[in-house]
Amino acid sequence: MLRHFGLAPPPLRSSDLWDDTRATIRVPRARPLDLLLFNATDDTYGAHVGVRADEDRVLHLCAEARRTAVPGLRDFAARQRYQVLTGVIRVIRRMPTDR
């Protein structure tokens, strides 16, 4: 989805994504299209990644529903395995443009 908006996210797992400094930066506050990492603890290893859709909603692949879902942030906090927002990452690398 991020590529549709001209961003080039790296093909990394959540723990590697958190350590990436080439295509992403860590930011203190999320804005639309930022990556949100959720986990049961504050550990980024194995965190679930979602994309900030708007002020309250997060687009993510929901394993239980076997589809994309767009729940609110409170819905994530209510689930034990997603209760902690472990970090916010902004993709800064852009897709190459055709000239």
Residue 60 to residue 71: CA distance in whole angstroms: 8
- Structural domain includes residue 12: yes
- Structural domain includes residue 36: yes
- Structural domain includes residue 57: yes
- Structural domain includes residue 68: yes
Per-residue pLDDT reduced to its tens digit, 44-94: 899 999 999 999 999 998 877 788 889 999 998 899 999 999 999 999 999
Count how many domains the chain has.
Answer: 1
In DSSP terms, 48 is beta-bridged to: 38
Residue range(s) defining the domain that contains residue 56: 2-91
- Structural domain includes residue 78: yes
- Structural domain includes residue 98: no
Residue 8 class from Cβ within 10 Å (0-12 exposed, 13-18 middle, 19+ buried)? middle
Contacts of residue 77, Cβ cutoff 8 Å, sequence gap at least 6: 83
- Give which of 36, 39, 41, 40 is closest to 17, Cα–Cα: 36
pLDDT band at 99 (very low <50, low <70, confident <90, very high): low
- Structural domain includes residue 22: yes
